[in-house]
Amino acid sequence: MEADIKSIFRKLNIHPSRSLGQNFLTDGWVLQKIAEAAELTPNDTVLEIGPGLGSLTSYLAEDAGCVVAVEIDKRLVQVLHDLLIGYRNVHIINADILRLDLKKELAPFMTSPDGTLRSLKVVANLPYYITTPVIMKLLEDGLEAECMVIMVQKEVAARMMAKPGGKDYGALSVSVGYYSRPTVITDVPPDCFTPRPGVDSTVVRLDLYKTPPVELKDRDLFFKVVKAAFGQRRKTLLNALSNAGYIGIGKDQVRLLLDKAGIEEMQRGETLSIQQFARLANEIYDLRR
């Protein structure tokens, strides 16, 4: 596969783009592992982000009812059309995933020929430089996806999986835990890519909750509290929250709210569970009313 990718680029006289973070997955066992982790059926529509040269796309198209592949590099779009010509269930969109109205773009592909509504699953080998923004867009856009199987830098996967109290636990951990149940599928070494990245990667599956694990009175406020708590990791919650102008409460009020939520004022954000963040945000909401 590595030789095939190199020959395609030589033939087209183009090179992988560093600015787009292009590292093409070439190892068949990893491609198979990702496709299997998505547990695809003919009743599924797959949103694939960054198909590259279609190595993973072909695996997905074998089992899914429809694959919508979003590729930002216009040089590769015609190549994808040519390489995937045998798959009539693949639709390629040349666009920046961060600027795309995903609900609008996916709507025409969410119904099977017999009128049955398909389930949505997301599969992506994410460029490292936009990993977190893409993950947050997918989680926050309300796509109602069943699951996401994504390849990320190993250290990002550690942050996604982290529990309270550890050095990797942060705002991404809380966001992922609010929207989904994450599971590590496999680690992937650099020699599975062309060109080889300088870091290891990890495939993670996120099973999206239909109902979040905590009840919030104001979701935006909840994430503002999380942002404030981790924006200055070394500060206590008392100082971090009272210094965050967008929260809009003073130190004495923060002290009172922490007490009502059962949280010590000298604690740091990295020690709080999602449930504790939710209680604190709900207390702040009640105070503002």
Q: Which amino acid is at 117?
A: L
- Specify whether 46 is located in the same domain as 118: yes
Residue-number span of the structural domain to which 253 is assigned? 219-288
CA atoms within 13 A on the CB side of 257: 26
Q: For position 100, what pLDDT does the model report?
A: 96
- Specify whether 237 is located in the same domain as 260: yes
Count of all residues that appear for the chain in the document: 289
Parallel, antiparallel or unpaired: strands 201-208 and 147-153: antiparallel
Domain end: 208, 242, 270, which one? Answer: 208
For the cut 50, the answer to whether the pLDDT of residue 75 exceeds it is: yes
- Specify whether 233 is located in the same domain as 190: no
- Specify whether 77 is located in the same domain as 18: yes
Give the separation between CA 166 and CA 68, rounded to whole angstroms: 37
The CATH number of whichever domain residue 245 belongs to comes to 1.10.8.100
Give the separation between CA 248 and CA 225, rounded to whole angstroms: 11
- Specify whether 174 is located in the same domain as 231: no
Domain count, the chain: 2
Name the pLDDT band for 288 (thresholds 50, 70, 90). Answer: confident
- Specify whether 246 is located in the same domain as 182: no
- Please, are residues 16 and 24 in contact by the beta-carbon 8 Å criterion? yes
Token duo for residue 180: 């989904």
Give the separation between CA 235 and CA 224, rounded to whole angstroms: 16
Q: Which amino acid is at 9?
A: F
| Tens digits of residue pLDDT in 203-212 | 999 999 999 9
The percentage of the chain sitting over the pLDDT mark of 90, rounded to a whole number, equals 74
The CATH number of whichever domain residue 71 belongs to comes to 3.40.50.150
Domain end: 208, 230, 259, which one? Answer: 208
- Specify whether 48 is located in the same domain as 175: yes
CA distances (Å), origin 109, targets 91, 150, 203, 288? 9, 21, 26, 43
Domain end: 140, 175, 208, which one? Answer: 208
- Specify whether 24 is located in the same domain as 115: yes
- 74 within a domain of the structure (yes/no): yes
Token duo for residue 22: 């292009």
Give phi and psi for 46, each to the nearest 5: -110, 130
Entry pTM: 0.91
Which range, of 23-32, 82-91, 197-206, averages the lowest pLDDT? 23-32
Neighbours of 135 (CB within 10 A): 25
| Tens digits of residue pLDDT in 126-183 | 888 899 999 999 999 989 999 999 999 999 999 999 999 989 999 999 999 999 999 9
Q: Where are the alpha helices (DSSP H) in the chain?
A: 2-12, 28-38, 55-63, 74-83, 102-106, 131-140, 154-161, 171-179, 219-231, 237-243, 251-260, 274-288
